[in-house]
Structure 1
Amino acid sequence: MATVEKEEKQMEKEDFVYVEQTKGVNGLDKVILREVRDFSAEVYLYGGHVTSWKNEHGEELLFVSNKAIFKPPKAIRGGIPICFPQFGPHGTLEQHGFARNRVWSIDNDAPPFSTNSTDKAFIDLILKPSDEDMKLWPHKYEFRLRITLAPGGDLKLTSRIRNMNTDGKPFTFTFAYHTYFAVTDISEVRVEGLETHDYLDNLRNRERFTEQGDAITFESEVDKVYLSTPTKIAILDHERKRTFVLRKDGLPDAVVWNPWDKKAKAMADFGDEEYKHMLCVEAACIEKPITLKPGEEWRGRQELSAVPSSYCSGQLDPETVLQSG
């Protein structure tokens, strides 16, 4: 009998659809990634944009605004926008660059990524410049993005950006995975791992300060770029008894952002009270821009985990979270 059950489970796994291409809001193309233990993620080709990441209980782990506009050329508010070739408002390029509001293609010719052979729920995307993009940013590039939902529910994003210029010119860019985490109550959230690090405060003309607290907590607007940060950061949601662990590679900086009430009300694609239920903690490379010569490639990776925790009752030591794995 046990053998029959085992065979049935094996057949279920073989029939399981790990990757499904379908339509999303306003008919936009999207891809759904699923794992057999009921984890899921959704990726829109518009923006190469992760808009959903759910655990085995169907709980949404990313924040997307109820007022998000799923219509080009507006970037989708929430999830994980890709900021490239710049972070922030600089020069002639639009805020956070153009990668988040271009339509990406499924990359059927992706070169091998170093990936776990057990990962079946993944999608390879590619973005290349259009003629219009070349007028804005006159460089040829290939941006390859692999988005993976691991068997244990971790969400991984790996970016590979290559300079394809034939005129011998290097190019320089900044970058961020602009991740919006869903939290229960922003006033009950702590971020561990950035204490004692220097940061640039965007609310104070990018002045440089050093983080003094033993953790970051929230009681007003915050918009900071932490510099030379550790490879692991923990976001503790006390109300939900959940900790997000962000691991990163090739991305030395970390942005922490919440618009709070006044800016929330000023954004057309963001609910007035939604700031209470989101926090952006972003793996980034901002302070020291990346320069690539023709033929050179840069790689940046972010991996997200969600683990049960009860920090305030002492069941989880955040230092252990940051050091493990």
Structure 2
Amino acid sequence: MTNTSSSGEMVYVEHKKDINGFHKVILREVRGCSAEVYLYGAQVTSWKNEHGEELLFLSSKAIFKPPKAIRGGIPICFPQFGNHGSLEQHGFARNRTWTVDPDPPPFATISHNKAFIDLILKPSEEDAKIWPHRYEFRLRITLGPGGDLMLTSRIRNTNIDGKSFTFTFAYHTYFSVTDISEVRVEGLETLDYLDNLKKRERVTEQGDAITFESEVDKTYLSTPTKIAIIDHERKRTFVLRKDGLPDAVVWNPWDKKAKAIPDFGDDEYKHMLCVEAACVETPITLKPGEEWKGRQELSAVPSSYCSGQLDPQVVLQSG
């Protein structure tokens, strides 16, 4: 696959169809990094560094067929995160086909970013039956020159009946890791979390960093704007920066749950970790005409060690 046009110019944004006829967009940058975005779900399914190494996890059993959400990458959870009431789990944005936004609003973005796509989702008549609100959900996905991946969501209440609406939200990011037992997460120490395996019991995190030896499904509250996910075996650190998203969900199904998920390989839990920028505990309420904005930026940097310890401040500052 060439990264240049017939005139020899760099192609930053390429529209394609996959083998199933799904429309997808490939974003590329000069150094060789890339990202792949499906219009189905507005979902990033691939993010590669300049060496062509895949940084996101996508299940080998992922189903690319509506109404199933794609297992892996970065699903968008809206208008709810979790499983409440009559809406399907994690809402419907991740299994609707979005369109390229013909009239995107001005985004405060660095002018030299050329690899980006603007997508939009509006309610269908079917959606209105299950969630009776009018809205515009705009999403810009940008691949920076250095390989950083940025997602900026803007959700506006366009109701004409004067009604507010309330929602919860998450970027359900699946990171690719070498071995989950060799991964640690820094930045969430000593925070309170809701343990979703124990009926959302509120607990205070102990210890200096989060490591993994069994199933975990936690919603951390009032989290910092930067979180580090350290893959010791690959000597790589993911840095997640977020804005407008106070919570962070950490999830790994482990062996028993993995075997019960039909679109997930039995042993794939060893090679993935979800760390999700989210707004879960306190839902967002928008009056007609109001807009909410939530952003996440991902970068991958080399990890350096000193007696097995990583100074997260060095990583976060250098990222």
Are residues 1:202 and 2:202 paired?
no
* Corresponding residue of 2:230: 236
Write the mapping of 1:1-325 to structure 2, written as runs, cut at 5 A: 15-311=9-305, 313=307, 316-323=310-317
- TM-fit CA distance, 1:317: 1.4
Q: Whole-Å Cα distance in 1 between the matches of residues 118 and 241 of structure 2?
A: 20
Question: Whole-Å Cα distance in 2 between the matches of residues 23 and 59 of structure 1?
Answer: 22
Summarize the Cα distance change of 1:254–1:25 in structure 2 as closer, same or farther, 3 Å threshold: farther
1:142–1:163 contact (8 Å) kept in structure 2: yes
Seen in structure 2, the aligned counterparts of structure 1 residues 162 and 13 have a Cα distance that, compared at 3 Å, is farther
Partners in 2 of 1:216 and 1:12 — Cα distance?
A: 49
What amino acid is the match of 1:252?
P
Letter in 2 for 1:295: G
| In structure 2, distance between residues paired with 1:42 and 1:213 | 37
| Structure 2: distance between partners of 1:83 and 1:262 | 24
TM-score by length of 1: 0.94
Q: Which secondary structure does the structure 1 equivalent of 2:197 belong to?
A: helix
1:72 maps to a residue whose letter is: P
- Per the TM alignment, residue 323 of structure 1 is displaced from its structure 2 partner at its CA by 4.8
Partner Cα separation in structure 1 for residue 57 and residue 214 of structure 2: 19
Q: Could you tell me whether the CA contact under 8 Å between 1:193 and 1:322 is conserved in 2?
A: no
| Distance of 1:239 and 1:64 partners within structure 2 | 20
Write the letter of the residue equivalent to 2:298.
L
**1:140, 1:165 within 8 Å by CA — same for their partners in 2?**
yes
Paired residues in the alignment total 315
Judge conservation of contact 1:163–1:170 (CA < 8 Å) in 2. Answer: yes
**Root mean square deviation of aligned Cα:** 1.5
Segments of structure 2 that go 5 or more residues without pairing to the other structure are none
**Cα deviation, residue 311, structure 1:** 3.4
Whole-angstrom CA distance in 1 between matches of 2:216 and 2:83: 17
What secondary structure sits across from 2:285 in the alignment? Answer: strand
Contact 2:303 2:315 in 1 (8 A): no
SS at match of 1:322: helix
Q: Distance in 2 between matches of 1:235 and 1:203?
A: 22
Q: What is the one-letter code of the residue matched to 1:108?
A: P
SS in 2 for 1:100: helix
Residue 163 to residue 14, structure 1, CA distance change in 2 (3 Å): farther
On the 8 A contact 1:42/1:51 being kept in 2, the answer is yes
Tell me the equivalent position of 1:6: none
TM-score, length basis structure 2 = 0.96
Q: Equivalent pairs: percent with the same residue?
A: 83
Equivalent position amino acid for 2:80 in 1: Q
Q: Secondary structure at the match of 2:210?
A: coil
Shift of the alpha carbon at 1:239?
Answer: 0.4
Q: AA paired with 1:213?
A: G
